[in-house]
Amino acid sequence: MKIASVMKFLSLIILILIGFAGLTQPQQKNEDITVDGMKRSFITYLPSARANYRMPLVISLHGGYSSPKEQFRIADFRPVAEREKFIVVCPKSKNIWHDGRDTKGIDDVKFIDSLITYIVNTYHADPKRVYITGISNGGFLASRLACELSQRIAAIAVVAGTMNIGEGYNPVKAMPVIYMQGTKDPIFSNKGGKKFGRRIYSQDSVLKVWADLAKCNTRPVITSFPDRANDGTNIIKKEYSNSATGIKVIGYSIVNGGHTWPGGYQYLPKFIIGKTTRNLNACTEIWNFFQAYRLN
């Protein structure tokens, strides 16, 4: 009996050691690929994970004239990625993302398409669980990608932005989407209109576009969340859903919120960009939304 017990204990130790051998340490890498003859750079965050585990991929797009490094500060998905085991990639624009305006020879849709292929092939990311999020100009590109790369993207989340009108692309496939926007955003109003020489959807109207395409219920469920952080903001959630397909189209109105990432870094003073709410953690909320969806 004693020998059997010792052997059982040794077997358990061996299994534990094998398990640890299959773990990797978290890594953050500066990388680049060439698209249309141009070097396009990005930062990749790889959480610790067991070998051969096909992780989901979240591509996080910075705002105009910003950077991947700054995006990791403003919208830091890394703690969530480490806990939930997914890859985060923050790519770099050529000053701005070409979300529908004159591309000047720069095809950002092709860049993100190529980037997805690179991450899937290099790090064995799950091609059925690719998600796009972004803030401001990056959010507008996320909307464009949802229209033009719908065969590769399982869901999107847009912060401090919506979608351009009349830019030559429109949604063609039902997709789960989130739009988060402050009611006092001084850069892109949640009421839409014309900005920087282009027309943009209001938050309500862009939700309706996606909800109609997904054949969601015509009347959204509206939930209000109080100001528990005592920072002068509160949250109104508007949710459309299709019970047959499971697709949801969700809007978060950050009452008194600015051009900011909810729960993130206040990257400029409030008198310039408005308040960053502490009543909602966008990284956690977005991931909780994303993980429910995968491509068929």
Taking only the tens place, the pLDDT of each residue in 71-90 is: 999 999 999 999 999 999 99
pLDDT, position 84: 96
pLDDT, position 53: 78
Taking only the tens place, the pLDDT of each residue in 85-119 is: 999 999 999 999 999 866 678 999 999 999 999 99
Which string of b and e fits 269-294 if b means at least 16 CB within 10 Å?
A: eeeebbbbbebbbbbbbbbebbeebe
pTM for this predicted structure: 0.92
pLDDT, position 18: 40
pLDDT, position 51: 61
The closest of 262, 285, 289, 259 to 274, measured between CA atoms, is 259
Measured CA to CA, the distance from residue 260 to residue 120 in angstroms comes to 30
Residue 56 pLDDT greater than 80, yes or no = yes
Residue 178 pLDDT greater than 90, yes or no = yes
Averaged pLDDT, 33-38: 97
Residue 221 pLDDT greater than 50, yes or no = yes
Residue 20 pLDDT greater than 60, yes or no = no
Pick the CATH number of 24-290 from 3.40.605.10, 3.30.1120.80, 3.30.10.20, 3.40.50.1820: 3.40.50.1820
pLDDT, position 21: 46
pLDDT, position 50: 67
Q: Which residues 6+ apart lie within 8 Å of 199 measured at CB?
A: 164, 165, 166, 192, 193
Residue 139 pLDDT greater than 60, yes or no = yes
Averaged pLDDT, 191-206: 94
Averaged pLDDT, 210-236: 98
Per-residue pLDDT band for 9 (boundaries 50, 70, 90) equals low
Domain ranges of the chain: 24-290
